[in-house]
């Protein structure tokens, strides 16, 4: 059985218990596979990026047919940190739901609307409206050059600067280190492993530190960051309590010795 996330954010837990560890967040419109129905409240699910955990039933629309159609037709994502989906195409309208960056919607391509507005369909079938500039088409087939892709990944990661740190988080409401890196890639059409390690079967491969370029990933014990060039990296830092920038250069004011001296691996999407 397949399903679609129908809440702004659906928590993914390590155990079928609301007090267990938050291991990931599922954003609106994301499809998931249901592995097992546990009881009246909980489902064991797997994401499109092969991450498993437990989610409350109330956050999902369970329907194989609708999920299959949604995968094909829901081709746009929210690109703004937050976007209110309104009942009518005017700013004074009441809202249906608020969505965060990375949420998936279907663009109804209503050409009769004022150019600043877009009409979308929600996973529940409701029609709503938002500012057109607040969503963009999902990247499915990357035709960019390597350097263009690397720069886009960096700029996407930097768009989360000052986002509060949240263990298991993956949105502008709060994000953790692997959530930041995985969203930087996901929003550019590439699904990488969700945790702070390189895993076989995913597109990030280990390279030498000397080969590192913009957009590559730096791994530390229990932590991951995204390299942005000039010895700088962006990461969701538990110590800093937000997404910020630090340096590998000991002469730089943003240098962090605890990280610069404990690099365990460097990973790249463009490894030979």
**Which residues participate in catalysis according to the annotation?**
177, 223, 235
Residues 48, 140: contact at Cβ < 8 Å? Answer: no
Are the CB atoms for 235 and 225 separated by under 8 Å?
yes
Nearest to 221 by CA among 173, 272, 263: 263
- 194 in Cβ contact with 254 (< 8 Å): no
Which parts of 40-191 are beta strand (E)? 42-47, 52-56, 60-62, 76-78, 82-86, 95-100, 104-107, 117-121, 127-131, 135-137, 170-171, 174-175
Q: How far apart are CA 249 and CA 203, in angstroms?
A: 28
**Measured between alpha carbons, how far is 198 from 217 in angstroms, rounded to an integer?**
10
Edge-to-edge order in the sheet of strand 95-100: 95-100, 82-86, 127-131, 117-121, 104-107, 76-78, 135-137
Q: What are phi and psi of 259, to 5 degrees?
A: -95, -45
- DSSP secondary structure string for all residues of 235-262: EEETTTTEEEEEES-TTSTTB-HHHHT-
Q: How far apart are CA 217 and CA 150, in angstroms?
A: 11
């Amino acid at each position: 059985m397949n399903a679609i996330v129908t809440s702004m954010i659906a928590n993914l837990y390590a155990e079928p218990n609301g007090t267990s560890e938050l291991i990931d967040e599922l954003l609106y419109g994301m499809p998931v596979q249901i592995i097992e129905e546990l009881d009246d409240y909980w489902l064991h699910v797997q994401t499109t990026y092969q991450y498993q955990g437990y989610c409350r039933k109330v956050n999902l629309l369970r329907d194989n047919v609708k999920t299959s159609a949604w995968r094909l037709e829901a081709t746009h994502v929210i690109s703004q940190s937050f976007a209110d989906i309104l009942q009518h195409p005017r700013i004074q309208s009441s809202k249906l739901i608020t969505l965060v960056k990375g949420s998936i919607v279907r663009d109804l391509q209503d050409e009769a609307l004022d150019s600043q507005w877009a009409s979308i369909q929600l996973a529940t079938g409701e029609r709503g409206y938002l500012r057109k500039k607040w969503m963009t088409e999902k990247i499915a087939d990357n035709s960019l050059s390597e350097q263009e892709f690397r720069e886009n990944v960096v700029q996407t990661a930097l768009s989360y600067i000052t986002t509060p740190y949240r263990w298991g988080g993956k949105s502008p409401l709060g994000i953790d280190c692997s959530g930041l890196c995985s969203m930087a890639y996901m929003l550019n059409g590439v699904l990488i492993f969700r945790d702070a390690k390189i895993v076989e079967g995913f597109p990030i491969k280990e390279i030498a530190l000397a080969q590192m370029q913009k957009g590559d990933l730096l791994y530390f014990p229990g932590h991951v960051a995204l390299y942005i060039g000039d010895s700088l990296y962006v990461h969701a830092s538990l110590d800093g309590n937000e997404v910020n920038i630090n340096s590998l250069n000991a002469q730089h004011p943003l240098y962090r010795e605890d990280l610069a001296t404990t690099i365990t691996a460097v990973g790249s999407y463009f490894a030979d």
